[in-house]
Amino acid sequence: MLSIFEQLTERVEHHLNVIYQDVDLSISIPELSQQLLATMRIGDADSIVEPKQHHNSWDEKDVLLITYGDSVEKPGEKPLHTLHTFLKNYCADSVNSVHILPFFPYSSDDGFSVIDYSSVNESLGDWDDIEAITQDYRLMSDVVINHCSSRSAWFTNFIKGEGPGHDFFFTASPDIDTSMVTRPRTSDLLRLTETENGEQYVWCTFSHDQVDFDFTNPNVLDAFVSIIRQYLDTGIRLFRLDAVAFLWKTIGTSCINLEQTHEAVRLLRTLIEHAVDDAVIITETNIPNRQNLTYFGNANEAHGIYNFSLPPLLVNSLVTGSCKHLKSWLGSMPPAQNGTFFFNFIASHDGIGLRPAEGLLDDTELTTLVNTMQNFGGRISWRKSENGEQKAYEINIALYDALQGTTKGEDKWGLERFVCAHAVMFGLEGIPGVYIHSLLGTGNDYEKVRNTSQNRSINRHKWDYDSLVEVLNDPQSQHAKAHGRITELLNIRKNQPAFHPNCTQFTLQLGEQLFGFWRQSLKRNQSIFCVHNMSDQIQTLRLSDLNLIGTDTWLDLISQQTICMEDLEYQLQPYQSLWISNTL
């Protein structure tokens, strides 16, 4: 019988054989396997964690706050220290995890063009500040795995033709046909670079400051295993694999979602979960829904995947007053197997991606959504389609402003619509991620867009801590109202077993204006019927449509009102949400 280490070695070698099946390596697969295990510091039975299959290391109490390291600042104080203070003062009871967007030295893209993966950006703080946060919260770090900054030491060595990183980057001839390559940007794919070895054309999926790695070189893989090991040592337990869908390139293909990419994610999961038992991988793949789902594998790839179709579908429902597409999508979604989860979010540092809505909303509906968001101050980012045409790739807008009205224009229901959106997300199967500017009800930052000339800056406001405290102490401010209402929902959510990320979910058929789904915890015998009025008109809910068990006592968890079984109908105000639960 094979030992645990021998079994692990066989698994790693299998992953590597799939990844490098068409690559002529200068190192044998067994040697490479041992190198990676040594880098992850897994060398004997004492250093191996045997992961439990289909085990959920999360529950209904898990909520993640998404923020930049300097979203909250205070003069004379390190932003990471200020952020930690904000978390303790305003999130301690409602949030137990935090995603700090790239906190490394960078040259562009607000952190996603990393200069040095091993250092903390000095303008934010240092590793001691990161470790201090990990003592109070589960911390998610980005692993910007597809590309790095053109100002990194690795790329400098590429230009020199010697030193670490000199062979880390993917190059191609400008004469090749790249028409099949899928990209989220309109800039030229290849960047002409003068090197000591002559002219080289470097592959740049995103921008010419973001140069793509060449994972056919196993030293690139080993470098990222070393980076992940360092992050584990600092207490980081959640790893967001940024833009991972583009990791492997094969000329003549779309260069997205290739077999080797999926196998690389499986390999990283194998190494990480055998090093630390509660470490989690989340893949960031802003692509059409069916493609996104493939990153679960067979519960052997990503632990979590971003639920990218949720933001555009939910916003579309709330501004049109019809949930037909949202309902159809939810009803078609497979449940996440135990050991995996959906990472639900409705706002982020980027914007509302539209590719995940392809095939779910038609062109006319997408155009209406884009026009409505522009009416509320939003900006649009574009990409080149397969036939060379420009298509809307992403809506850049603060969620608070995105929901200030409908396709008919702005109205008085903005706050209720905004809260309804979060009530939907908090009830869905999966773990919710709340963007800091949604928690704070921050609006569009037009000044930052003017200063940076970047559309995404519209939803990347930086708060002065003292000014933030002042508005949060003002009960009439939109910020205090948003923070209070969202925090209240989160505090209710975390005490409901049926809101466990992997509990049963069933989509209800309640018409176009009422969006409903049912959650159930068999272990704790709890059922919750989540019903949301997606329109600006009063809607009638027939209790008979919910099939409530008459012998149970039912309570709306949000209003704390008992549901009287003798009432045949219930009137929902515009954008009102009900979480109807049997009492435990």
Catalytic residues: 242
Which pair of structure tokens corresponds to residue 488? 């209240």
| DSSP secondary structure code for residue 269 in this structure | H
> What long-range pairs does 361-370 form, CB within 8 A, spacing at least 24?
361/312, 361/313, 361/316, 361/325, 365/316, 365/325, 366/392, 368/320, 368/407, 369/312, 369/315, 369/316, 369/319, 369/395, 370/395
Alpha-helix runs per DSSP H in 276-398: 289-293, 310-320, 324-332, 363-375
The structure tokens 């949301």 sit at 532
Q: Tokens in use for 105?
A: 């030295």
Among 286, 241, 240, 275, which residue's Cα sits nearest to residue 138? 240
Residue corresponding to tokens 């390999």: 267
Count of CB atoms situated within 10 Å of the CB of 56:
17
Tokens for 421?
């959106």
Number of Cβ within a 10 Å radius of residue 102:
23
- Residues 65, 447: contact at Cβ < 8 Å? no
| Beta strand extents in 93-165 (DSSP E only) | 97-100, 138-144, 147-149
Strands, sheet with 390-396, edge to edge from the N-terminal-most edge strand: 352-353, 390-396, 379-384
